């Protein structure tokens, strides 16, 4: 089963991909992780990627598709893969389709995690984490039992991601709408697009995704 998870930043794609990987034996393909691994390996693709990134340039689609091709040829990808973060544009989607066709593979499903933009921003902007043990909290949905004290380790130090703010979210959502939303009609026309309620509880989102995959 080969799938793509689509959704704006903070929709929970990574969380769902990790669970699919753990429970269904699929391999999560993160383009960032693949780039770092390729650079570390010293492969030809890795050397090309390193040169490009050191110049501060964007890695071209052809190189990214090449990295994906190498990765899905490895034995642990036999049960399928989950793409999270790629493709982001229709050009990348077409390049991916072409590569999969040559490799004798195909995309089985593209799952869009639909979200309410205002509610998603509220969910992300309110996040904070214990600086000591990493336990996650939220200003509205999951406050510590004792204000200012971590439930798990008792630390009184908390931290926030710098990009968890309303202005950054606005920019990221605009980029998602401009670049990635055009993929929806592309995959819809091919009959592989399905939608789930990305604002539901994590277990419910997973149940919906599992139902889509079992009916593929």
Positions marked catalytic:
13, 88, 127, 161, 172
Spatial separation of the C-alpha atoms in residues 145 and 43, rounded to whole Å: 50
DSSP one-letter code for 57: P
Phi, psi of 177 (to 5 degrees): -60, -40
**Long-range Cβ contact pairs of 89-95 (< 8 A, separation 24 or more):** 89/179, 89/180, 89/182, 89/183, 90/182, 90/183, 90/186, 91/61, 92/61, 92/64, 92/65, 93/183, 93/186, 93/187, 95/61, 95/62, 95/65
Q: Which H or E run contains 6?
A: strand 3-6
Phi, psi of 155 (to 5 degrees): -65, 150
CA distances from 79 to 1, 19, 148, 195 (A): 6, 14, 45, 22
Count of CB atoms within 10 A of residue 215's CB?
8
């Amino acid at each position: 089963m080969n799938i793509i998870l689509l959704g704006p930043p903070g929709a929970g794609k990574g969380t769902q991909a990790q669970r699919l990987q753990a429970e269904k034996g699929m391999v999560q393909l993160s383009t960032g992780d693949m780039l770092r691994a390729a650079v570390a390996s010293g492969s030809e693709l890795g050397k090309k990627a390193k040169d490009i990134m050191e110049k501060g340039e964007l890695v071209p689609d052809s190189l990214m598709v090449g990295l994906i091709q190498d990765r899905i040829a490895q034995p642990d990808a036999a049960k399928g893969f989950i793409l999270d973060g790629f493709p982001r544009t229709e050009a990348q989607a077409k390049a991916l389709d072409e590569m999969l066709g040559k490799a004798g593979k195909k995309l089985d499903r593209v799952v869009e995690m639909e979200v309410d933009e205002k509610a998603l921003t509220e969910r992300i902007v309110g996040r904070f984490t214990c600086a000591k043990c990493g336990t996650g909290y939220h200003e509205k949905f999951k406050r510590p039992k004792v204000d200012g004290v971590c439930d798990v380790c008792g630390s009184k130090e908390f931290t926030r991601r710098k990009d968890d703010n309303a202005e950054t979210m606005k920019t990221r959502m605009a980029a998602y709408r401009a670049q990635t939303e055009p993929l929806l009609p592309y995959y819809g026309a091919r009959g592989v697009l399905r939608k789930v309620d990305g604002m539901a509880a994590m277990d419910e989102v997973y149940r919906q995704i599992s139902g889509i995959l079992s009916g593929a």
